[in-house]
Amino acid sequence: MRRGLSRLGSVVLSIGVFLAAGAAGAADDARVGELEKQAHELQRQLDALRGQGANAATVAELERQIQVLAAEVEKLKLGEAAPEDGAGRYGLGPSASKVYSLKKGVTFGGYGEMLYSSPSSSLEDGSPSGQASQIDFLRAVLYFGAKLTDKILFNSEIEFEHVTTGEGAEERGEVTVEFAYLDFLVNEGVNVRAGLLLVPMGFINERHEPPTYVGTRRPLVEQAIIPTTWSEDGVGLFGDIGSRVTYRAYITSGLAAAEGTSSGAEGFFAEGIRDGRSKGGQASAEKLAITGRIDGTPIDGLTIGASFFTGDAGQNLPFPGGRLKAWTTVADGHAEYRWRGLTARALYAHISIDDADDVNAAQGLAGAASVGESQYGWYGEVGYDVLTHVNGARQALIPYTRYERLNTQDAVPAGFLADPANDVKKLTAGAMWKPIPNVAVKLDWNQIQNGARTGFDEVNASLGFMF
């Protein structure tokens, strides 16, 4: 482990020296500093007026001016990766949203992520882990978009995983179209989207560029309970309701709960519903699903929302006595708060699967190899940019911590057993350095525990970027 940490330190130091040498943008730094001074002065005036009981119109105008300055600062910090308003649009991240800022023509963007992991040599119970340190270029992603008219646009994401697909023993990764859709823009409140769509659940599934979230790895809850990245073929509506509420509502292809369906899914098991995704390719459409999301901003900086996905995952598969039925519902509630360098997130997600015993029979499962008819996961995380009050600073240094709890077999059908290894706790603590907002270098320690005491510790370092 000590040798792993030494190697890790060398990697991080080398990356840091390289990025520090390449950091630039003095003109933007000066402009950012000037705007931040203005915002701080307006905030001081606002605080004073509130203490004096100023009228609501005056307070509202100062709040509006502060928001305008904050948006301009964010736009300068993000540079060309940002759309005009300095943030993502309709749930997507800054790079994935570039097409929305275009008047006409084609946009190109993307992101990448490399991970170094050094697991402990022993498990919780003291037995050897059998794991070795590894470095992996996890993914290289390309966004292509086109503004066909002022009302019709195309947007897409193509992901290359683990560098190469190869053949035989060399096979490692895959090439996947994560989304590819057409938007028909009617007005701010009601628009139409059709194609291969990201299921609008959780924090990470729609917005997964590495510099936009803390942690060298995505949250476990948003891999097993919400199976990021999750996309389905579909059509639906999206838009903004006023300035404080956004929504998305789609009809999509459904999950496939058992082997032998036309989607080629491998069924539901220890990784939640992950193997039931169609990914949009030759997807079973005997039974469709409904998915939706709503988010509100009751006060500046605070977002509260909920999302769901529901449908019959049995897909009319022939089954003794009729057709397989496996109505599956995934739901989550989430909240995020951002204020002066502080970012805090909390999420709870739950899966319920009807007739899970029939799904087990369809897959030939027995004993502890059972579909979880009830599954849940939650996490809370907090990070704080310690450089946030340094005027003109384009860099960010964000210590963070995250705690997760999940169980993909919280309840199983009568006659089956739950594997305690699926009852998991995970603690993450680390820091993210962003020399510019589009680049993130992360270092963290992870402690994974489970009911079977086969968890382990892991130290990770990652390099992520978007453009």
Domain harbouring 358, CATH code:
2.40.160.10
pLDDT of res. 80: 47
**The pair of three-digit structure tokens given for residue 415, joined into one six-digit string:** 């006659």
Phi, psi of 383 (to 5 degrees): -140, 150
**CA dihedral of residues 336, 338, 342, 345 (deg, nearest 10):** 10
Domain membership flag for residue 143? yes
Domain membership flag for residue 423? yes
**112 beta partners:** 140, 465
Domain membership flag for residue 27? no
Domain membership flag for residue 457? yes
How many structural domains compose the chain? 1
CA distance 66 to 49: 14
pLDDT of res. 91: 87
Measured CA to CA in angstroms, residue 423 lies from 141, 220, 224, 419, 449 at distances of: 32, 12, 12, 8, 8
Cβ(226)–Cβ(330) below 8 Å: yes
pLDDT of res. 1: 43
Residue stretches of the chain with pLDDT short of 50 = 1-26, 80-86, 259-266
> Which pLDDT tens digit goes with each residue over 251-278?
999 999 874 333 334 456 557 888 888 8
Determine the structural domain holding residue 418 and report its residue range. Answer: 92-466
Domain membership flag for residue 280? yes
CA distance 402 to 400: 7
Q: What is the pTM of this model?
A: 0.81
pLDDT of res. 415: 92
Domain membership flag for residue 17? no
Q: Determine the residue type at 322.
A: G
CA distance 138 to 464: 10
pLDDT of res. 268: 60
CA distance 37 to 43: 10
Domain membership flag for residue 40? no
Phi, psi of 331 (to 5 degrees): -140, 150
Give the angle 78-81-82 at the CA atoms, nearest 5°: 65
Domain membership flag for residue 29? no
pLDDT of res. 461: 98
Q: Which residues contact 320 (CB under 8 A, 6 or more apart)?
A: none
